[in-house]
Amino acid sequence: MERSYKQLFGEQAGFVLHSMSLNSQEDPEFVEGRMVGGNDLATYIDNKVPALGLNRILILGLEA
């Protein structure tokens, strides 16, 4: 997982983001975000519907 973060975001930012993710495992908002991401992935695999959960949060300011 750490390696994928580093490949996506670069060595330093990937390390920081991975560390933050590890430290947030018990945070309710982080857990909910993980669930939304997992549901988006399942919907994409099953129905080829693009994952929009993160867009809803970042662009529209909606809750997870």
pTM: 0.66
DSSP summary character for residue 33: H
pLDDT in tens, 37-50: 899 899 999 999 88
Alpha carbons 6 and 23: distance in angstroms, whole number: 17
Show the tokens assigned to 5. 């973060």
Residue keyed to tokens 């590890």: 22
pLDDT range class, residue 64, cuts 50, 70, 90? low
DSSP summary character for residue 61: -
pLDDT (0 to 100) of residue 6: 96
DSSP summary character for residue 26: T
Query: Greater confidence, 53 or 33?
Result: 33
